[in-house]
Homo-oligomer: A and B are copies of this chain.
């Protein structure tokens, strides 16, 4: 890039691209048949377009010009009310003075990092972690510390060792439930321990939990939000992207009441407000009582797809690779032996007609050259088998 003559800010050099988002464009431009394990989107047939279309006639139709005006920055009153009612009695229950509607969960992360990170501040991220989360911390010039994840989520004991008596982190960024990309969930014991450490260090915990409502196996674990019981050092980020549809770009932040005005001020300087038609559409969906039913259907679909993915992997890669066993969410994390470079594999696999995200996309220091993330949620079991078969052919090509 020829940007040398432009008076860019110093942070411009810390703006890393997202392999995941770039894949959206790349895949859109492909003309051949591709089994898409790459994006973290819900199944197209799981998007409740028929219900939304009906609601849309009333809420954002020809007689609803006010649905196209500016929204209040903290969120449209109708959505706020419907969401508070929806969450009441769940592990994510909250209250008006803690709730701010955002433009997707991603804006919740942007708000949190913008409010809390000065250049050079230490930010803990999981390893592997969600690319755009760590990218946002980097965009405010954070120093990242990558803490390994195992089957029980972030290794909180390792975090404590890594910090030792050194500089405590300003922010700890975690995806505790059905983690992106590993699918792992943090145990209750580790959740408590993480909150204790954050409290001792005075660190903000960003509790990014987009998949928590999509549990299809195992026992529920309380959210970090619930366990924190109002501790102002826990800021929770949620989204309708995975439980309804990502194109809506509507999410919410649940934070200490003393942060709400700051969140609103920061959001006004980002995008004024979140798009109102989609807020009204979601409000109608929640008020109509559709979400719980929708989630029940989705969980069964995703459970079957996860099982199909594991069966196909066993068939084609049994004994040769290993993979995680998530109890919910969208993702499996597959680890190959050192002979498979998944960045090289990506191009060969794309030519074979299957797409995934290489492991290194999920680590700022690129610690996962032999792993990859597959999303099982958006593809039917039949296509999942087809996709894994294609992946087998691609692996054979790069290792032969």
Chain A residues within CB distance 8 Å of chain B = 1-3, 5-12, 15-18, 21-22, 24-25, 28, 39, 41, 44-45, 47, 49-50, 52-53, 56-57, 60-74, 77, 103-104, 106-107, 110, 114-118, 121, 132, 135-136, 138-140, 170-171, 202-204, 232-233, 245-250, 256, 258-259, 261-262, 264-266, 268-278
**A276 surroundings in chain B (CB, below 8 A):** 247
Q: Is the pair A15, B266 in contact by a Cβ cutoff of 8 Å?
A: yes
Q: Is the pair B268, A132 in contact by a Cβ cutoff of 8 Å?
A: yes
Q: Is the pair A24, B70 in contact by a Cβ cutoff of 8 Å?
A: yes
In the assembled complex, the Cα of A73 lies from the Cα of B28 at a distance in Å of 12
**A107 surroundings in chain B (CB, below 8 A):** 270-271
Q: Is the pair A3, B259 in contact by a Cβ cutoff of 8 Å?
A: yes
Q: Is the pair B268, A248 in contact by a Cβ cutoff of 8 Å?
A: no
**A204 surroundings in chain B (CB, below 8 A):** 6-7
In the assembled complex, the Cα of A18 lies from the Cα of B9 at a distance in Å of 25
In the complex with contacts A6-B204, A21-B272, A262-B15, A246-B74 CB distance below 8 A: no
Q: Is the pair A8, B116 in contact by a Cβ cutoff of 8 Å?
A: yes
In the assembled complex, the Cα of A277 lies from the Cα of B49 at a distance in Å of 11
**Which of B73, B104, B270 is the one whose CB lies under 8 Å from A24?**
B73
**A270 surroundings in chain B (CB, below 8 A):** 106-107, 110, 136, 270-271
In the complex with contacts A44-B69, A62-B50, A103-B103, A269-B135 CB distance below 8 A: yes
Q: Is the pair B135, A74 in contact by a Cβ cutoff of 8 Å?
A: no
In the complex with contacts A249-B274, A269-B136, A271-B107, A256-B68 CB distance below 8 A: no
Q: Is the pair A203, B118 in contact by a Cβ cutoff of 8 Å?
A: no
**A268 surroundings in chain B (CB, below 8 A):** 17-18, 21, 132, 135
In the assembled complex, the Cα of A306 lies from the Cα of B46 at a distance in Å of 49
Q: Is the pair A110, B271 in contact by a Cβ cutoff of 8 Å?
A: yes
Q: Is the pair A121, B9 in contact by a Cβ cutoff of 8 Å?
A: yes
Q: How far is the CB of A27 from chain B (nearest CB, A)?
A: 10
A-B contact pairs, 10 of them (CB 8 A): A1-B258, A6-B232, A6-B256, A9-B117, A17-B268, A24-B73, A39-B70, A68-B248, A106-B272, A132-B269
